[in-house]
Amino acid sequence: MTARIHPAHFTIEAMTAYLSEIFPQAGIGETFFVEEILPMRAKMRLVFDEKHLRPGGTISGPSMFALADVALYVAVLGEVGRVKLAVTTSLNINFLKRPPPADLIGEARLLKLGKRLAVGEVAIHSAAESELVAHAVGTYSIPAAKRD
Amino acid sequence: MTARIHPAHFTIEAMTAYLSEIFPQAGIGETFFVEEILPMRAKMRLVFDEKHLRPGGTISGPSMFALADVALYVAVLGEVGRVKLAVTTSLNINFLKRPPPADLIGEARLLKLGKRLAVGEVAIHSAAESELVAHAVGTYSIPAAKRD
Amino acid sequence: MTARIHPAHFTIEAMTAYLSEIFPQAGIGETFFVEEILPMRAKMRLVFDEKHLRPGGTISGPSMFALADVALYVAVLGEVGRVKLAVTTSLNINFLKRPPPADLIGEARLLKLGKRLAVGEVAIHSAAESELVAHAVGTYSIPAAKRD
Amino acid sequence: MTARIHPAHFTIEAMTAYLSEIFPQAGIGETFFVEEILPMRAKMRLVFDEKHLRPGGTISGPSMFALADVALYVAVLGEVGRVKLAVTTSLNINFLKRPPPADLIGEARLLKLGKRLAVGEVAIHSAAESELVAHAVGTYSIPAAKRD
């Protein structure tokens, strides 16, 4: 692991503001909401909206991908701080069940936090029920000296 | 493989119309354009727009995921015909290089087309250069008797 | 989910015998040991041996892949019973840390158990320490009517 | 990409010798044979043997994983030279078709070769037929200053 001090200074408000600044088009605070930041973990909500729908009234794959990606990103930033150029290097997602038309919750957990690479998983379930609708594993590259 | 007749009746226009009907919110004909449908293959274009951007002026991961997913979907539909409830069951994407601010091209190729399951890969490159920016592998479940 | 009755009749001994019968070359009871079968879960041990080593004295990737695969397989069989032709359809593994030269423990948990498809994850750690060395997600196809 | 000089000095014999030295237990020259090393590509053969079998007379998943992993590894080494501590960081494999009881051929192709990370894909087919039996995508971490 690393000797990094845990940046507990990221309140939900500070994280929301930071994400909105670095991803102005991502819908943070409109579509995606930070619900929890814990050591090695983060919880995000995707607010249900007609535009995420696909045939059968279910939420689209790209919307679930985006939720998984941002939830893992928040878990990484929660540990490493304001690293603007941290990037997703891969994401593997399994769609398990058609989600009902309701908000989705993504719960991210880091499996590894190295100096250059983080790996984490995200369990996605509907706010309306506990069964998983998708599960993702992502990897993130952390640049060495790009902290703000 | 299968005894399916190849539905060469899918012109680009017919595929665009069908996708727009089944995915009215996906931006088919606005953001995503079908460029080519060949046996076991499809080519899609993601038209560059400010809203796909992320820090550093690059195209976002979810936009590339959506391009990979729809390109594979078109390759599957090109083979199996109007199967409205075909669904993505998994997608693994590797991000290889930050794309420049330009259109992206996704070239999908089916690796397997079974009766119930299709597997394919997508190579994504910028319209501005030939080097790959992302590569994805997806799996699709094909329902037995849900053809329109 | 499914209406299957949970086959609690699989003792560790019965599972070991069944695996040895269907995978005579896999080293069940020699290299891989079933340690626990619980609803939707299984725990397997890979006994450390020189032949799993790779440069630096660490356990090889293929050995960890085999552990992940068999642990998920046992979790699936624990639910569906003696389905000889259940097959792995995909496996995605992330290697997180070089394992020390010691036994490895694979803890599998099913994320979805459908009629035709099961999806599960496996966390692998060294018996010598709790930190994860690898994490895998696999999918399994369950044939409809091939129970023994 | 990188400014590395292409190490065309790796003949098939030299690669075989180097792999045997760094992976003495991997069966290089017994089970796995280097067949071709080209820029960004490598071809390996898995010689059919009873011990790779699983139920139904087919080759086991771990054997195909090992073939994919070593083929990609050879493609990476072919580019970067003798980097003993290059490691697989992830591998995603899709099993497409049960292979017949015959040799398998793994054809690896690098999709990205960065300074620290390589990504490649492997198509696996039976020596007895051209249809794919498996397809894998792997990522490799290349240590900065560990060349022999």
> pLDDT tens digits for A51-79?
666 656 678 899 999 999 999 999 999 99
| ipTM for the predicted complex | 0.89
Res. A89 pLDDT band, cuts 50 70 90: very high
User: Taking the CA of residue A10 as centre, how many other CA atoms within 13 Å lie in the half-sphere pointing to its CB?
Assistant: 27
β-pairing, C41-46 with C32-38? antiparallel
Span C76-110, pLDDT tens digits:
999 998 876 788 999 999 999 999 889 999 999 99
B33 has pLDDT over 90: yes
Q: Which D residues in the span 98-137 are in contact with B, Cβ-Cβ below 8 Å?
A: 111-112, 119, 121, 123, 132, 135, 137
Copy the structure tokens of residue A20: 């909105």
Copy the structure tokens of residue C10: 């699989």
- CA atoms of B34 and B43, how far apart (whole Å): 6
Q: Per residue in A98-113, is it b (16+ CB within 10 Å) or e — as a string?
A: bbebeebbbbbbbbbb
Amino acid at C45: R
Res. D1 pLDDT band, cuts 50 70 90: very low
DSSP A110-144: EEEE-SSEEEEEEEEEETT-SSEEEEEEEEEE--T
Maximum distance among all alpha carbons in chain C? 48
Amino acid at A146: K
Please provide the average confidence, as pLDDT, over all residues in chain D. Answer: 87
Residue with tokens 């997703």: A88
Span B71-116, pLDDT tens digits:
999 999 999 988 767 889 999 999 999 998 899 999 999 999 998 8
Span D66-88, pLDDT tens digits:
999 999 999 999 999 887 678 89
Task: List phi, psi (to 5°) of A90.
Answer: -160, 155
Question: Which of the residues A72, A94, A121, A133 would you substitute to probe the C interface, choosing the one with the greatest number of C C-beta atoms within 10 Å?
Answer: A94
- CA atoms of C51 and C69, how far apart (whole Å): 19
Residues of chain B neighbouring D94 (CB-CB closer than 8 A): 111-112, 119, 137, 139
pLDDT of residue D71: 97
Residues of chain B neighbouring D137 (CB-CB closer than 8 A): 92, 94, 135, 137
Amino acid at B76: V
Neighbouring CB atoms inside 10 A of B49's CB total 15
- CA atoms of B43 and B124, how far apart (whole Å): 10
C-alpha of D116 from chain center: 19
pLDDT of residue B26: 81
Cα-Cα end-to-end distance for chain A: 22
Q: Which D residues in the span 37-96 are in contact with C, Cβ-Cβ below 8 Å?
A: 50-56, 60-62, 65-66, 69, 84-85, 87-95
- Considering only CB atoms, C94 lies closest to which of A94, A131, A137, namely A137
- Name the pTM for this structure: 0.91
Query: Can you list the residues of chain C whose pLDDT is less than 70?
Result: 1-9, 51-57, 84, 145-148
pLDDT of residue B8: 57
Closest chain C C-alpha to D25 CA, distance in angstroms? 6
| Cβ-contact B75, B42 below 8 angstroms | yes
Question: Which of the residues A121, A139, A142 would you substitute to probe the D interface, choosing the one with the greatest number of D C-beta atoms within 10 Å?
Answer: A139
Q: Tell me the CA distances in angstroms from A38 to A8, A50, A111, C133, D126, one per residue in order.
A: 9, 31, 14, 22, 49
Q: Coil, strand or helix: which one is A3?
A: coil
Closest of D4, D32, D25 to residue D114, by C-alpha: D4
- CA atoms of D47 and C2, how far apart (whole Å): 41
Q: What is the dihedral of CA D50, D124, B111, C92, to 10 degrees?
A: 80
- As a whole number, mean pLDDT of residues B18-43 equals 91
Res. D10 pLDDT band, cuts 50 70 90: confident
Residue with tokens 């400014």: D3
Q: Tell me the CA distances in angstroms from A16 to A5, A103, B61, B122, C99, one per residue in order.
A: 21, 18, 19, 33, 37
Closest of C64, C69, C61, C60 to residue C23, by C-alpha: C69
pLDDT of residue B52: 62
Res. A96 pLDDT band, cuts 50 70 90: very high
- CA atoms of B19 and B76, how far apart (whole Å): 12
- CA atoms of C73 and C87, how far apart (whole Å): 8
Res. D2 pLDDT band, cuts 50 70 90: very low
| Cβ-contact D113, D79 below 8 angstroms | yes
Q: Per residue in D63-83, is it b (16+ CB within 10 Å) or e — as a string?
A: bbbbbbbbbbbbbbbbbbbbb
pLDDT of residue C49: 81
Residues of chain B neighbouring D107 (CB-CB closer than 8 A): none
Copy the structure tokens of residue D100: 């017949």
For residue C33, with 0-12 CB atoms within 10 Å meaning exposed, 13-18 middle and 19 or more buried, which class applies?
middle
- CA atoms of C142 and C83, how far apart (whole Å): 7
B133 has pLDDT over 90: yes
For residue D5, with 0-12 CB atoms within 10 Å meaning exposed, 13-18 middle and 19 or more buried, which class applies?
exposed
Residues of chain B neighbouring D119 (CB-CB closer than 8 A): 94, 96, 135
Q: A139, D89: Cβ pair inside 8 Å?
A: yes
| Cβ-contact D116, D141 below 8 angstroms | yes
